[in-house]
Structure 1
Amino acid sequence: MNKNNGTYIIVTWNNEKEIEDCLSTVSRYSPKNSKVIVVDNNSNDRTVQIIKEKFPETELIESKENLGFAAANNLALENVSSEYICYLNPDVILTEDILTPSIEILEDQSEVGLVACRLKNKDGSNQPSCFNFANSWSLPCEILHIGAVMPRSLRKKYFLNYYKTNDDFKPDWVIGAEMVMRTKDARAIGGFSTEYFMYTEDMDLCKKISVILKKQIYFISGVSLIHLGGASEAQNVNYNKQKKLFQNDMIFVRKFYGEEEARKTADYMAKAYSMRKLLLKIGYWKKNRKYQIEKNNVAIQLINEI
């Protein structure tokens, strides 16, 4: 295996608006001898053309079909010859070297299996990127925003989506917009799980690192990058996406905790949304009140369907 500084793995699908900024900043802030592999999931825009014309040094794999996020990343992993990899979304913009400090942690701490840096919005504000694994406790708590009223000490353990810190720490899982791993570890767990076509693959990957490798996830607080999709994804609550998220949560819970826990999780989520609906009706009077209630009703319907 060639010990260069690492290989960035990027999966694209109709990313003509983002890919140039992404690859330009990867080139600008990459350590010497690092490599980039892009797998394009059969884009029908100018993504492939932009890569070929402006970034000829990039190893481009053109799929004839949309393989999905997981399978496309795994295809790139087969072609990696470096000791380290960095999974990177095409809608990120680097503002500093993220690879070197991540590799240093992996070299110094054998118990760490994955390192992630802080994600920021384009305006410089922080994006939530560290979470607890989905189960019958964490998902209802997220629905009811219980972490918002909990003390900081409890947030760090049980309510990570509300935990804000300037210190490094080890969460359950991190958003997959940027992840650095040892190549051998990624291969040992089979890369991303392909039962998820989109969403939840990052949580599943982190869980496999914990269960199979017995290793931890490490969050670097002082190194950051911009994730453009974070803000828009937070606003995207359409029916199909929410249905897919619920379905994938159930796949995850069933896979790692069993059928009984999956049934309990769905039941508790439905009860949490019913309670949230009541709270919205009696105590929520912001302008988007009607929208929030409608969104809540859709969630209850979807949970009943799964």
Structure 2
Amino acid sequence: MIQLSIIIVTYNSLQYIFNCIESIYEFNDLDESKFEIIIVDNSSIENFTEMSRLLFDKYKNRIQLIRNEENKGFGQGNNVGIKIAKGKYVCLSNPDILFRVPVFQKVLKLFQDNKDLAMIGGKQIGGRNSSFLNRPEYDFFVFTAILSDFLNIVNLYFQNYFYLSGALLFIDKEKFIEIGLFDENIFLYFEESDITKRFLKNGYSTKFVKGFIYDHLVGGREITSETVFDIEIDSVKKYCLKYHYNFRSFVNRKIISYRIMICFCKLLGKNDRVRKSEIYLNRFLKVKSDLVLNEIKM
């Protein structure tokens, strides 16, 4: 009987997916009959065909590969996998994840021992090593980022203010279905914050476990493209609207934060950081300007 369904949503991820799968098998501590791997591919038919061929050559029929006919985002892709998953619990993994310790048996025991537990996250190594982050309503970047980084270092997670990194999550499937799965109106970013709020609202809990270590191969922090920035802004706008938070206030906090960062970086002579902060400041100033123009038109 399958207990755990590992779901990986991919998008042009051939350079990562095989290392991810190998790490799953390397650190798997369940009988192979008790877990399944489901890959939901959001790529083009050409990329899907190539992945299908390579996966079959290496793993035969051990892995289920599904082509998502239309890329409707991270959450929708995971929903596709969850709806066909046979396990009582699901592991949602990015393709650029590498497991570093056996965790599956411990995850199952945590869920079985705590009937209110809905979601578990682990210790992320990679990028800023952010295993959890501030929810948008509590985000005042220049201040809360420092606090968040410190709390990640000392492994102190507060579910009422933070959300677990969506790079690797373990979720009780029945509880997830109860709260409506991922909101498919949110294409990418802040899905974890949204589901955290819904789990808590329904009386469930989330948990961070520092011993569940994994690598997230996010590389260095570069300037986000305008397209990705626009997607992120759209997501946080929808999140704020959904929970009646002031989106304009969120934008203003970002503007203040980047202005403060520019001043400090200039004093410290960190010209590269100044340039990056100025790019983001200008983007948020444009978002604010667009908000004002839309209000005038209304």
Give the TM bin, normalised by the shorter chain. Answer: 0.7 to 0.9
Identity of aligned residues (%): 17
Structure 1 residue runs without a partner (length 5+): 149-158
Q: Counterparts of 1:227 and 1:206 in 2: how far apart (Å)? A: 21
- 3-state SS in 1 of match to 2:206: strand
1:47 to 51, 59, 84: 51
TM-score w.r.t. length of structure 2? 0.85
Q: Counterparts of 1:274 and 1:290 in 2: how far apart (Å)? A: 12
2:255 aligned partner, one-letter code: A
- 1:118 and 1:198, CA in 2 relative to 1: closer, same or farther beyond 3 A? same
TM-score w.r.t. length of structure 1? 0.83
User: What residue in structure 2 maps to residue 287 of structure 1?
Assistant: 271
Q: Counterparts of 1:182 and 1:284 in 2: how far apart (Å)? A: 47
Once the two structures are superposed, the pairs formed by residues 102-141 of structure 1 within 5 Å of their partners are 102-121=107-126, 127-135=129-137, 138-139=138-139, 141=140
1:162 to 147, 150, 173: 150
User: What residue in structure 2 maps to residue 154 of structure 1?
Assistant: none
Report the number of matched residues.
281
- 1:160 and 1:167, CA in 2 relative to 1: closer, same or farther beyond 3 A? closer
2:143 to 142, 145, 153: 145
User: What residue in structure 2 maps to residue 215 of structure 1?
Assistant: 204
1:113 aligned partner, one-letter code: A
User: What residue in structure 2 maps to residue 201 of structure 1?
Assistant: 191
1:68 aligned partner, one-letter code: G
Q: Aligned-pair distance for 1:200?
A: 1.7
Q: Counterparts of 2:264 and 2:3 in 1: how far apart (Å)? A: 52
- 3-state SS in 2 of match to 1:110: coil
1:34 aligns with 2:18: no
- 3-state SS in 2 of match to 1:199: coil
The one-character-per-residue Cα deviations of 1:247-298 (angstroms, maximum 9, x if unpaired) are: 2112112212x16x333333343344444445455x2411313343233222
1:298 aligns with 2:283: yes
- 1:98 and 1:249, CA in 2 relative to 1: closer, same or farther beyond 3 A? same
Q: Counterparts of 1:243 and 1:303 in 2: how far apart (Å)? A: 13
User: What residue in structure 2 maps to residue 152 of structure 1?
Assistant: none
- Choose 63-72 or 44-53, whichever is displaced more: 44-53
**What RMSD in Å do the two structures reach over aligned CA positions?**
2.3
Q: Counterparts of 2:52 and 2:73 in 1: how far apart (Å)? A: 17
1:263 to 217, 223, 248: 248
The answer as to whether partners of 2:27 and 2:99 remain within 8 angstroms in 1 is: yes
- 3-state SS in 1 of match to 2:152: coil
The answer as to whether partners of 1:166 and 1:221 remain within 8 angstroms in 2 is: no
User: What residue in structure 2 maps to residue 242 of structure 1?
Assistant: 229
The answer as to whether partners of 2:123 and 2:209 remain within 8 angstroms in 1 is: yes
- Choose 284-293 or 9-18, whichever is displaced more: 284-293
Q: Counterparts of 1:170 and 1:294 in 2: how far apart (Å)? A: 32
- 1:146 and 1:116, CA in 2 relative to 1: closer, same or farther beyond 3 A? closer
2:217 to 228, 233, 239: 228
- 1:164 and 1:74, CA in 2 relative to 1: closer, same or farther beyond 3 A? closer
1:77 aligns with 2:78: no
Q: Counterparts of 1:271 and 1:167 in 2: how far apart (Å)? A: 28
- 3-state SS in 2 of match to 1:128: coil
- 1:219 and 1:5, CA in 2 relative to 1: closer, same or farther beyond 3 A? same
User: What residue in structure 2 maps to residue 173 of structure 1?
Assistant: 163
Structure 2 residue runs without a partner (length 5+): 292-298
